Amino acid sequence: MNILIVDDEFQSCKLLAEKVRSFELEEIEKIWCAASGEEALEILRQKKCQLLISDICMSPMDGLELVAKAKAQNQELICILLSAFDEFAYAQRGIKLGIRDYWLKPCSADHMRESLMEIIREYRSNQDSSRMLLDTIIHGAVTLGDKSLDDVFHSTAHYPGNGGYMVVWDSSIAQEFSIPGFWICRLLDGKSLFACPETCTPESAVQLERALTQTGIACGVSALGGNVAQMWRQAQLAFSVQWVWGEHKAIFFEDIRPIAGQIEEMVKDSLNRIATVNPDNRRDILTWLEERKAGMTAFGFAVYIDRVYSGLLKQIAELSGKPIHKGKTRSLGWKKAFADALRELISTKIRQIDLRKRDPIQWSVEYVAQHLGDSDLDMALLADKLGISYPYFSELFHKQLGKTFSEYILDVRMKEACRSLLQGELVADVSKKVGYQDYHSFIRAFKRLYGISPTAFRNMKG
C-alpha cells in the first residue's frame, strides 16, 4: 500500500510520515508528502496511491476540496482527514465524500496505528477478492462482459495501470517466474498469467517475448490491452497456432492479427474450392493459395495454410473411412498428393517468417551482409526498421555479439575489402562496395586498422 500525506505545514507533513514509518507495517511500501492540494493531485495522477491522509485547513485548496477532486480521479482511493477542530460539520462533509476516518489533532500513535491496521485489513481483503474475481472471470463462471484490468486490479498496490498482456501456457508456470520491468499476476489455473509493463515503451513487447522464449515453454500472448475477455480470446488464438513458429515458442496475437478476423471464412472458402477442383489443376490451386497472402505477414500466411492443410487432412480421414464409390479412389489419391504439396508449401512459408520478430540481431547481421555497400547503413536505420529504440538496439547488439555495432560493421567492411583487394579489384571500387562514398575516408580507415594502405596491401599479397 502506498500513502500520500498532505499538509501545507510541510514540517508537520514530514513528521507524520516518520510516525507512520515507525509503525513498521510491512504492507506499507511508499509514503509521499505534498505541501498543497495542487501538488497532491499531481502526485496522484503520476503515482499509484491507495491511501490519502490530508489536513483539512489548507489554502487555497482545503482538504475537503482535495478529497472531492482526488475521489473524482480515483473512486477507490481511501481517504483520512486531519483537523485540529472537533467540529461536526467537518466530519459530516467528510462522510458525504466517503472518507474512511477522521483524525483529530493531536492524534495518539495508538489510534493512528489501529486505524491504519484496520484499513490495511480491508485493503488486503479487497485485493484477494480482486484476484478471485479475475480467476472466476477467466474460467467462465461469470459473464466476461467488458471487465478491464483496471476494474479487476483497482485495489492492487503493484498494478502499474498500463494494461497488460495475457499469456496462456501449455504447462504449469514456475512459481518464481518474473520479468524485469513487468508486474506479473499468475492465475490459479497455473497455466496463464497477466504481464503488465511498469512503463509502456516500444521495447516492452520485445522484452516480454525474449523472457518468455527463454523459458522454452510454448505460449500464446494477447495484444497489449485492458479488456479481459478480448485478451483471453487473443491469447487462446495465438496459442492454438504456436507450433507453426517452430522453436520460437512465444506466439504474439499481433503476428496473426491481419488474418484473425477472417481466417475461418478464408479457410472454408479455400477448402470448398479445393473440393471441387479438377485434380489436374492442383498446381493452379497452390498458385491461388499463394495469391491469398496479400496483406498478411509471413507468419499469418503460414497459419492460414496450416488451417487449410488441417481441414484437408480431415477430409482425407473422412474419405478413407467410408466405402469407396466410383470416382472416389481418384479423389482420395489426389487429395493425399495435394496435402503433400501443401505441407511443403507450409514448410517453405515457415522458413520465410521474418527474422525481425524471432531474432532481431540475427536479422540485423543478415541485413548488414546484404546492404554492405549502402552509405546510410547505421544503427539508427536498423533500429528504426526493427521498431525499437536506438539505445535498446545498441544494448541488445553488444550483449549478443560482444562488440558495438560500429566495431562490428567496421570489421565486416574491412574483411570484405581485404577479400576484394586480393581479387585484384581497384581501391576506388572496393571503397564504394563496402559503403564508403569518400575514397579518402576508406583509405584512412583501412590504414588505421591494418597499418598499411589498401594499395600496399593488395600489392603485398599479390
Q: What is the pLDDT of residues 274-288, one digit of tens each?
A: 666 555 555 666 677
pLDDT at residue 140 greater than cutoff 50:
no
What is the structure's pLDDT at 80?
92
Q: What is the pLDDT of residue 87?
A: 62
Instruction: Determine which of 215-224, 305-314, 326-335, 442-451 has the lowest per-residue pLDDT on average.
Output: 326-335
* pLDDT in the model for residue 6: 93
Asked if the model's pLDDT at residue 395 lies above 50, the reply is yes
Beta strands in 49-126 (DSSP E): 51-55, 78-83, 101-104
Q: In what order do the strands lie in the sheet with 250-252?
A: 182-186, 192-197, 165-169, 219-221, 250-252
Q: What is the pLDDT of residues 57-97, one digit of tens each?
A: 888 888 888 998 888 777 778 999 888 776 656 666 777 77
> Comparing 263 with 17, which gets the higher pLDDT?
17
- At residue 130, does pLDDT exceed 50? yes
Report pLDDT for 142.
44
**What pLDDT is attached to residue 366?**
87
Q: Which of 215-224, 332-341, 377-386, 436-445 shows the lowest per-residue confidence on average (mean pLDDT)?
A: 332-341
Q: What local confidence, expressed as pLDDT, does residue 172 receive?
A: 62
More confident residue, 457 or 333: 457
Question: Please, is 271 exposed, middle or buried when counting C-beta atoms within 10 Å of its C-beta (0-12, 13-18, 19+)?
Answer: middle
3-state secondary structure of 43: helix
The residue that leads in pLDDT, 112 or 243, is 112
CATH of 2-107, one of 3.30.565.10, 3.40.50.300, 3.40.50.2300, 3.50.50.60: 3.40.50.2300
C-alpha triplet 160, 258, 294: angle, nearest 5°: 150
Using DSSP, state whether 226 is helix, strand or coil: coil
Looking at per-residue confidence, does 430 or 106 come out higher? Answer: 430
**pLDDT for residue 437:** 82
Q: Which pLDDT score, from 0 to 100, does residue 83 have?
A: 83
Res 165 pLDDT > 80 = yes
pLDDT for position 337: 62
Grid coordinates 496522484 are at which residue? 44
Domain boundaries of the chain, sorted by first residue: 2-107, 149-239, 260-355, 359-461
User: What's the whole-number mean pLDDT along residues 326-350?
Assistant: 54
| Cβ pair 81, 94 in contact under 8 A | yes
The angle subtended at Cα 246 by Cα 242 and Cα 249, nearest 5°, is: 50
Averaged pLDDT score across all residues of the chain: 76
Q: What was the pLDDT predicted at 367?
A: 87
What pTM was computed for the model?
Answer: 0.43
Of residues 339 and 375, which shows the higher confidence score?
375
Average pLDDT over residues 327-333: 45
* 184-240 pLDDT per residue, tens: 887 766 678 888 888 877 678 888 888 887 777 778 899 888 788 788 888 887 887
At 19-57, the pLDDT tens digits run 999 988 888 888 999 999 989 998 888 787 889 999 988
92, amino acid identity = Q
Which pLDDT does position 46 carry in this prediction? 79
Does a cis peptide bond (omega within 30 degrees of 0) precede residue 258? no
Q: What is the pLDDT of residue 275?
A: 64
How confident is the model over 292-315, as pLDDT tens digits? 666 566 656 666 776 777 776 776
pLDDT at 100 exceeding the cut of 80 = yes
pLDDT in tens, 399-428: 888 888 888 999 999 999 998 998 888 999
Specify the CATH superfamily of domain 359-461. Answer: Homeodomain-like (1.10.10.60)
> 53 with 12: CB under 8 angstroms?
no
Fold for the domain defined by 149-239: Alpha-Beta Plaits (3.30.70)
pLDDT of residue 173: 61
Cell numbers for 380, please give them: 539508427
Task: With a cut of 60, say whether residue 125 has pLDDT above it.
Answer: yes
> Residue 293: what pLDDT?
62
